[in-house]
Amino acid sequence: MKRPAELWVYLSTSPLLWLTLTLFAWLFAVAISTRLKRHPLANPVLISIVLLAGALRLSGEPYEKFFAGAQYIHFLLGPATVAIAVPLFRQWRQVKRALLPMVAALVVGSFTAALSIMLMGAWGGLSRDVLIAFLPKSATAGVAMAISESLGGNPSLTAVLVVLTGIIGALVVTPLMNAMRIRDYAARGFAVGLTSHGIGTARAFDVDQTAGLFAGIAMALNAIATSLVVPLIVRLFL
């Protein structure tokens, strides 16, 4: 390109504009997080969401146009999840030793996440469809939205709740675990992966590789557990 303006004219009429802006927002967010020494409040996902939401608001562009470009990154969510198998293979002996505690934590965590929503929903007087949208919030986005839609909930609301759950979990996990004096990175990682899916797992990898490994395992297992637990709870209580 002879002039930068020509590049802008090309991108502004192409879905690649929002893909480009998404990548730059993420790089900028990571730079801020690194500058602040990976402080929990400087979460790259949160910063990126604020930047992109502000850009959409100011430009007046519909979300559909944004997703037309960003869908290429969305597609990579599946391969990224499968790639967790690499550190799993490398540390299989450690995972094998913790298998029984992980299964126990998975069962308790999945039921607790869903039943706590039921109790708070009953206390707050939430409608049935809103409750269903809330129930799978601790599963990864694709699974949570599919569960919500199949049970009559609002998948768009579920997606928002999933992101909020992940961000909140990533923000509080380190200070909470430190306050509880939990030093085992396997336990810390499994807890955040179980409750905060991919965003929490990314935070766990920032802190420690072992924590990231167990967070990834918890995220994958909880997706399966949630798809079984949530329909059961809906049938029993709703």
Question: What does the pLDDT look like over 82-115, one tens digit per residue?
Answer: 776 676 677 778 778 888 888 888 888 888 888 8
Q: Domain end: 36, 55, 75, which one?
A: 75
Phi-psi region of 130 (alpha: psi -120 to 50; beta: other; left: phi over 0): alpha
Q: How far is CA 28 from the centre of its chain?
A: 20
- The answer, yes or no, to whether residue 81 has pLDDT greater than 90, is no
- pLDDT of 6: 57
Count CB neighbours of 213 within 10 A: 26
Which range of residues forms the domain containing residue 40? 1-75
Q: Which residues, 6+ apart, have CB-to-CB distance to 187 below 8 Å?
A: 214
Average pLDDT, the chain: 83
Quote the pTM value: 0.75
Query: With bands split at pLDDT 50, 70 and 90, how would you rate the model's confidence at 3?
Result: low
Strand, helix or coil at 132?
helix
Phi-psi region of 208 (alpha: psi -120 to 50; beta: other; left: phi over 0): beta
Same domain, 70 and 81: no
Same domain, 114 and 210: yes
Same domain, 219 and 103: yes
Same domain, 44 and 94: no
Q: Domain end: 75, 94, 121, which one?
A: 75
- pLDDT of 27: 92
Distance CA 88, CA 208 (A): 14
Same domain, 67 and 91: no
Q: What are phi and psi of 216, to 5 degrees?
A: -65, -40
How many domains would you assign to the chain? 2
Q: Domain end: 59, 75, 91, which one?
A: 75
Same domain, 42 and 132: no
Tell me how long the chain is.
238
Question: What does the pLDDT look like over 187-206, one tens digit per residue?
Answer: 898 998 888 888 888 888 88
